[in-house]
Amino acid sequence: MSAVSVEPFLRYPRFEKPGFARSRRKAAITVTTAALFKSPSSFNCCCSLIPRRKLLSNASSFPFLDLHRVKTHTARASSTDTAVLESTNDVVFKETFPLSRTETTEGKIFVRLDQSKAKEKEDQWQQLTVGCSLPGKWILHWGVSYVDDTGSEWDQPPENMRPPGSIPVKDYAIETPLKKASEGDKFHQVKIEIDPKSPVAALNFVLKDEETGVWYQHKGRDFKVPLVDCSLDSGGGNVIGAKGGFSMWPDALASEGKDSSSRSKDPKQETRKVEGFYEELPIAKFAVIENSVTVSVSKCLKTAKNLLYLVTDLPGEVVVHWGVCRDDAKKWEIPAAPHPPETTVFKDKALRTVLQAKEDGNGRSGSFTLDGDLVGFLFVLKLNESTWLNCMGNDFYIPLPISSSLPALSGTGQSEVPPVSENTVGADQEVSHAIYTDGIINEIRSLVSDFSSEKRQKTKTKEAQESILQEIEKLAAEAYSIFRSSIPTFMDETALESEATEAPKICSGTGTGYEILLQGFNWESHKLGHWYMELKQKVEEISSLGFTVIWLPPPTESVSPEGYMPKDLYNLNSRYGNIDELKDLVKRFHGKGVKVLGDAVLNHRCAHYKNGNGVWNIFGGRLNWDDRAVVADDPHFQGRGNKSSGDNFHAAPNIDHSQEFVRKDLKEWLLWLRKEIGYDGWRLDFVRGFWGGYVKDYLDASEPYFAVGEYWDSLSYTYGEMDHNQDAHRQRIVDWINATSGTAGAFDVTTKGILHTTLERCEYWRLSDEKGKPPGVVGWWPSRAVTFIENHDTGSTQGHWRFPGGKEMQGYAYILTHPGTPAVFYDHIFSHYQSEIAALISLRNRNKIHCRSTVKITKAERDVYAAIIDEKVAVKIGPGHYEPPSGPYRWSSKIEGRNYKVWEAS
């Protein structure tokens, strides 16, 4: 769901953004237990480490250097070290490895409901106390739900229930800091006084630690504390105190409180009130601690021995579990004595050396004297019996100088990245008919299998089955047209014009099938006031990087500066620029062959005037609708339309798309945008809010080249852990696409969510579903899946579901080599990731990977995922080892980065 600054509650857990709170509380780096280690060479701790290589002197840019030309300053060691690096020695290698480890602190959250001590007994006030025993700056983000409220589960409480220091979050929630009652108090806590005359049915809350930015929920959902029995109906595993008893309570709710005029009750009706309870719940706070280890190697000019110096800022006793090797097989050996002090032999396979405290007290260090005929030094670090650190799932490997060149580090070097040519995209449009139609045939088979399945027939409605049949017919016609014509339907329109041949109809869900989408803005872009002018300077660069489609921000006048609270739809003077600047920008992109998507917010619209009850639901401007255009079941805006066909968005009036005049006006507006501005298609905001059939109506009228909907839904979790099977989640997205008759694609939120957990927890087996296919929408309906890892909501300055830090390129290596239509976020392409992303785009175009390309998953294990796409490209992500299988193809490594690698077949 696109966010706007005036309704930040959309970013909070009550809307269950998939993994929003959960994704943050997981450790970015995990460390395995000692039980994983069976031999000195099998240390598989999933600590992701990318060395910051520091090749000294002016040879730092090269993977190889002359060992005898590089000098450095003295590296000091303690008096107990076996060797001291002198300034006269040649330092031939120096590298710093970042170390990330997780520390966990366990505590309790308690929730108590009892008789208030701050109010008169006869008033029957109650007091809810929420506390947390862990240190931190805790904030209670909370709201209430009212009796008979069929809309939002969250609303602001009455004024007299708000504790001191509370801050309202727009119109739906409250944030209250937790405080200690005294210095010696173990718990931070907050007390909420509950007025028995208020129509409050339940309290909903989540805890936020402001020091870390982590949100804590209950079993993956908001905490829910029912106060009356009627609120239990919508409760689930997240309900607190549900086992407590009830007492009879005269229903004063009907006479006072929120919107009491609409809550007329039978005077004799009684509601049962929840009695007091006390409940404790476990909570664990994860902290990622960043350290490093630096290893330098020098050659002693007098003895020709290798002097290795290791230093780290890790706290406490640190043990180096180490050995040496004599060839590239990297088989561990115990070197000849002498060994450093405090060294012991481990099972005749390795040595263990306790690092010595540095003289300044900051960290530990050790020195090792090694024979000159050794090839490498292997080690892992042991902090305690349950915490080991290694390098990207493998042993640390330090090459030792035995010749005039330094071997490249295993698993850390970068292959040469091919340059991006401006002509690459155009040349790559020439694609084999057979490959493309094979993809269509596979998709037809998948749909036929889905349709013919007895189980699916029982669960699908007649309309859904007809929709599948229509899609099969459409794909069959598309395949047939390829065979009967010399011009494939997926060729770019500009290429077709050069052939002086009538262009085939482009499918609105997929465009040509070769689209690579760029989101052309972030959450802060509006602040410049002239974003269109800013972006115009980058048109040529964007085109040269290989993008074929760009998504621009919402163009209309908006209550929020970001554009997601539209008001007058025909007023295109926004915080991003004026209408003339927008038209000029679109024209510039078209001149470079780049299609442009407009961000269309159709679900809701901000009103211009209040009605007689003081509610904002009367519209002005060219589309001067009244309250008949607003759905009837949104309690905030008193609409006189029909009930909503989807989920309500509570910050603005939800538009009733069942009204003929509404649909007529919106279709005319979309056609006007296409003609006046030149938009080629749409990114559709918050499509969960209205039926996909209406989307089909709008797309049939506006005939976009490409369209993608934002169907944002919560993934499945059990006790806060993401389920492996996310079929229900992707099925909901597929059902929406089906409702549009396949005229629009959808953002593959399923894939994004699974990638989050995969990379955070080093659980790469998650990237294969039970049938060996990609587990997201891309595994079921790839031609309609728009894959992404970040956007203006999840990343940018909002960061509400930010992709795991430092692992963005693993995500892009996945989506840019797999089928579906990949989307790249603006903040990433204009960053230090640009060259790597550009190389992946170039490789995708060069190998003609498209939205229906085939995927063969060859490995999906704890620490590595690998797949072969169209038998042309092999990719692996994760710290584990993988090489493409030998066979009819010769594989050559083309792109390599932090925990990912891509090969091409020849």
Catalytic residues: 685, 710
Question: Chain centroid to CA 685: how far?
Answer: 18
Rounded Cα distance, 904 and 906, in Å: 7
Contacts of 293 (CB under 8 A, 6+ apart): 96, 97, 99, 310, 311, 312, 314, 381, 396
Q: Within 10 A of 352 (CB to CB), how many other CB atoms are there?
A: 15
Residue 712: CB atoms within 10 Å: 24
Query: Which DSSP string do the residues of 625-649 spell out, in sequence order?
Result: --GGGB-TT-TTT---SPPPSS---
Gyration radius of the chain over CA positions: 31
Phi–psi pair at 724, nearest 5 degrees? -70, -40
732 close to 739: Cβ distance less than 8 angstroms: no
**Backbone phi and psi for residue 351, each to the nearest 5 degrees, phi listed first:** -115, 150
Report the run of H or E that residue 470 belongs to, with start and end. Answer: helix 462-484
Cα–Cα distance, 370 to 337 (Å, whole number): 9
On the question of a cis peptide bond just before residue 8, with omega within 30 degrees of 0, the verdict is no
Give the Cα separation of 477 and 742 in Å (integer).
14
Residue type, 202: A
Q: Is 347 left (phi over 0), alpha (psi -120 to 50) or beta?
A: left
Cα 827 to Cα 70, 421, 521, 522, 834: the distances in Å are: 38, 22, 8, 7, 10
Q: 750: which 2 tokens?
A: 């399923």
Q: 792 is written with which tokens?
A: 């203006």
One-letter amino acid at 21 equals A
The one-letter code for the residue type at 76 is R
474: CB partners within 8 A, 6+ apart: 507, 742
3-state secondary structure of 188: strand
Q: Please, what's the b/e burial string for 759-785 (b: 16 or more CB within 10 A of its CB; e: otherwise)?
A: bbbbbbebbbbeeebbbbbbbbbbbbb
63 φ, ψ (degrees, to nearest 5): -75, -15
User: Where on the phi/psi map is residue 148: left (φ > 0), alpha (ψ -120 to 50), or beta?
Assistant: left
Neighbours of 849 (CB within 10 A): 27
Give, as one character, the DSSP assignment of residue 141.
E
Q: Across-strand partners of 512?
A: none
Q: What is the spatial distance between Cα 450 and Cα 17, in angstroms, rounded to a whole number?
A: 28
State the Cα angle at 866 between 43 and 420, rounded to 5°: 115
Spatial separation of the C-alpha atoms in residues 147 and 281, rounded to whole Å: 27
Question: Helix (H, G, I), strand (E, B), or coil: what is residue 410?
Answer: coil
- Count Cβ atoms within 10 A of the Cβ of residue 600 and give its class: 0-12 exposed, 13-18 middle, 19 or more buried: buried
The answer to whether residues 748 and 733 touch, using CB atoms and an 8 Å cutoff, is: yes
Widest distance between CA atoms in the chain: 101
Query: What is the length of the chain?
Result: 906
Query: b/e per residue, 673-693, with b = 16+ CB within 10 A?
Result: bbeebbbbbbbbbbbbbbbbe
DSSP, collapsed to helix, strand or coil, labels residue 446 as helix
